[in-house]
Amino acid sequence: MEPIIALRVSKTLVGLIGIFGNGLVCIVIFLVKSMHTTTNMFIFNQAVMDFLGCLLLLLSSNVPVPDPLPPGLAGTLLCHLWISDSIVWLLYSASTINLAMLTFERYFAIVFPFKYGPLFCYKKSVPVCMLIFAWLMGFLVAVYGSAIFAPVDDHCVSVNIPGGNVLGILIIGIYYFIPILFMIFAYIHISIELKRSSNRVVPVMGRTAADDRSDAPAAQQQDDPIKRARSNTYKTLLVVVGAYIICWTPNEIIFLLFNLGWLYLDFSGALYIVSVALVAINSCINPVIYAFKYKQFQKAVMQVFFRRRPTENSVATVETGLRG
């Protein structure tokens, strides 16, 4: 249980908001058929990870931990799995990799649209393997997190492990810098490709140039709903990535400086606690972003709670737009 009252209240609040918000995302995507797309498969997986992370955050802040630790295996497991927060970091890290996988899926859909269908839509094993990969990557962080804590004199304390600093720097590179650099590159390239596609004119065979010009506005209007759906998804996920960078950067910089030996890190100090609090906030902020930015999610919420069924054209538009 969190001993600092203010921190306990804030963690409890973040946990409750995250449980409600991510739970809502899972329910809406599960119930609304038009939301059953490859993109939303990744969003659903992200929401499950964040839901579980917020649940563990809530429990760890309010469930008392025995002090001293119970003897034997019970105390060892309690230290390595619960007090170390290794399971929480498993979920947070898996969520990061899943976000990178989601970015890759959108990148492939927009930059390589003709290859996207055969790879992601017809072969469901590809996105499923990507989702499993995100969970496995989170598990590796949990192994590291549990290893740097150990029961000593009936108390769970942080310990040094052989090559711990090198492993810490490697984890920062794999779980933060590489995903960040990839996502920045992907969204810059996506922006360029969307701008090119918006300026692209497809000629109609058998028509004069004057006919093409006269029919261009109608063709553009017919294509606009699909472009709007695709653009809205892109802008929503861009905000999600921006929020991730803001929330995760302080903790990763602190952890990097600690592993380089340039900073003494007090795991119970205000600096580390605030950085972890920002990471926790990131797990509950995505549903808020979806509520304000993701139009397909807004329509699906209305359908679930107010029984408003979308028209056949709007459903087709949503599915086409999200699938690339």
Rg (CA), the chain: 23
Does pLDDT of 262 surpass 70? yes
Task: Determine what percent of the chain is predicted with pLDDT higher than 70.
Answer: 82
Q: What is the pLDDT of residues 223-239, one digit of tens each?
A: 556 666 677 788 888 89
**Does residue 273 sit in helix, strand or coil?**
helix
pLDDT at residue 212 in the model: 43
Say how many Å lie between the first and final Cα of the chain, rounded: 46
Contact 1, 62 (CB under 8 A): yes
Does pLDDT of 307 surpass 80? no
As beta bridge partners, residue 156 has 151
Contact 57, 85 (CB under 8 A): no
Delineate the domains of the chain, giving CATH numbers in brackets.
5-200+215-322 (1.20.1070.10)
Q: Give the pLDDT band (50/70/90) at residue 115.
A: confident
pLDDT at residue 4 in the model: 64
The encoded tokens of residue 282 equal 């990131």
Does pLDDT of 32 surpass 90? yes
The encoded tokens of residue 49 equal 């990870």
CA-based nearest residue to 107, from 294, 239, 247, 237: 237
Which amino acid, 63? Answer: V
Half-sphere exposure of 157 (CA within 13 A, CB side): 7
Mean pLDDT throughout 147-169? 86
